[in-house]
Structure formats: structure tokens, C-alpha cells
Amino acid sequence: MKTKNPFENSDTNKRYYTYDCYLKRRFGKKCVKIALDGGFTCPNIDGTISYGGCIFCSEKGSGDHTPPCNIPLAEQFELGKKFIENKWNDVFYIPYFQAHTNTYAPIEILKQKFEQAITLPDTVGISISTRPDCLENNVVDYLADLSQRTYLTVELGLQSANDKTLSLINRGHNYAQFADGFNKLKEKGINVCIHIINGLPGESYKDMMHTAHCVAELSPHALKIHLLYILKNTPLATMYEQGKFAELSREEYVRLVCDQLEILPKDIVIERVTGDGVKDDLIAPLWSTQKTIVTNEIDKEFVKRGTFQGFLC
């Protein structure tokens, strides 16, 4: 019987299909995302669906690491390049529309911003973060065309596959609506990266594994696994301070991520295995600021188990 190779989709010691490895194989050298703020808002903020956004969102709508939206996109991109050049030379870039909901605007505005982004120097693709309920047919048709001309990834926030949790966090859609949006994109051949969050209020281990099983069934191009971090001046912070839930320990989180990766198909690209909030605004978990330690602990847990992504698939 042929032995399974834990490093089949990795060029390092990672036992999961890293985004870095995927991009190097596809484009021949390292590729780096540059986060941009396109000046969009969100139907969960402006009252179309709700006000205030998801309970964990900062004022920048998950775009805490982006420049101010009043800076032109080309200048935002150059700022990102200068930061990256301090770390790496000779890389390709992927403009990443991260803040708020980046398909929530008239199609003409979307085309103006996205067409500019794919012409920025040394770019090989584009990533667009949005919601599953902000995918009008004409927008999906345009994204399908865009995906024929560049490496496009549409990033969809699922967070949890449990409707009770989605209601609690004020997500504004249920799992069935998420699946509908996801399938609209997948049927057009558009790459989708799903986002999930571990540690949401009220969620058990079983709930979080259920979300991972749903992701495995959907079989997206890529996945981001986030740790729930609690930021100042959010409804989530109020809940935390009132003792309505407790954050995951690092040990719990590491074991959970490994459990989730073991049941995911090995060809799903794993864009991240943890998350980090702005340090000045972070309330908890404070261990989340030590990203390298977290990722190293995930590596060690896999070695200890002798398993890898897809081991139980």
C-alpha cells in the first residue's frame, strides 16, 4: 500500500496546503497580498440588512490593516509595496480588497476599481472580499469574466455553519443563503476562499467541527481559519466583559485546527490558520499576537499525531 505523503502540498514543514506553496507553484515565485480599502460599506452597517455590522467587526470592517480609504488605490498599493520590500525582494503582488463588502456597489464602480487594480505593476491576480448576499447576477457575470483574465479569488465570510450562531453575531444571513451565494460563484468557475472563525460565543467543539465538515462538503478553492479575537469598542467586547463567553486557550485552538484540517480535502488551499487583531485594540486572547508560536504549535501537533490535512478524508 502506498504511504501517504504529509508534505505532498507543501514546500516547507507544513502538513497542510499552504497558500504560499500554491502561489509559488502557480506563478514561479513568492506572491504577496496588498490589502486595499476601496471605500465600500456593508448592508449590515448601512441599515439595508442591519446596523452596526457583525458583533466582532471593528469600525474598519475587518480592514484594520488597510490604509485610509481616502487615499487613491494606486497610492495605497505603493504604500503596501514599500512595506513588503522591507521583507522580500522580487515578488509578485495580489491586490486585496479587504475592508467591508467589496461587491456592494453599482457594477460601474466595481469595474472601475477592479480593472484599475489588475493593471497595477507586478500584479498576478486580485482578491475580493464580500458577502454571499451581495452577489447580483450581473456582478457574478462580471467576476466570471474577470476570472478569465487574471487569477481571481472571491473571499466569502461564512464564519459559522450554525444558524443560531449566525443570528447571535448579527451576520445577517443564514447558512442556506451562504451556500446559495457560494454555488453561484462556483458554477461560474470562480475561485472562492471561505472564511471561518473558531471560538465564536456559544459554540461547542461539535459546532466548530460541523462548520469544518460543511466546508469540506462545499470543497472551495481555499479556506481561511480565523481565531476569534475580541477588539475594543465592539458588541463582542461588551459580551466578553459581561462574562457571557470565554476565549479559547492556545492549546484548545491548536488541537481544534488540526482536527479540522484532518477532515478537509488535501487540495483545499489553506490561506491562514489563525488571525490577529490590531494590538492596541486587542482585549483577548493575548496569545493571539504570537502568530509564529501558534503556527509552530500546529506543526508540532501534527507531528505528534502523525497526521496531516486530508488524513481522515
188-206 residue pLDDT tens: 999 999 999 999 999 999 9
Q: For the chain, what's the residue count?
A: 313
Q: Which residues make Cβ contacts (< 8 Å) with residue 86, sequence separation at least 6? A: none
Q: How far is CA 54 from CA 87, 100, 166, 196, in A?
A: 33, 11, 9, 14
Could you give phi then psi for residue 105, rounded to 5 degrees?
A: -170, 160
Closest CA to 105 of 192, 172, 41, 57: 41
The closest alpha carbon to 50, from 180, 235, 175, belongs to 235
Mind listing the domains of the chain with CATH numbers?
Answer: 19-305 (3.20.20.70)
3-class secondary structure, 21: helix
pLDDT in the model for residue 63: 47
Give the residue ranges of the chain where pLDDT is below 70. 1-4, 7, 59-66
- Distance from C-alpha of 68 to C-alpha of 76, rounded to nearest angstrom: 8
Give me the residue label for grid cell 454571499.
Answer: 132
In this structure, the number of other CB atoms found within 10 A of the CB of residue 247 comes to: 20
Residue with cell 463582542: 236
pLDDT at residue number 64:
54
pTM: 0.94
H or E stretch at 179:
helix 175-187
Q: Residue 59: what pLDDT?
A: 67
Q: Are 259 and 297 in contact (CB under 8 A)?
A: no
Query: Cα–Cα distance between 212 and 262 in angstroms, integer?
Result: 10
Task: Give 71's DSSP letter.
Answer: S
Per-residue confidence (pLDDT) for residue 264, from 0 to 100: 98
Q: What is the pLDDT of residue 272?
A: 96
- What is the per-residue pLDDT for 15? 96
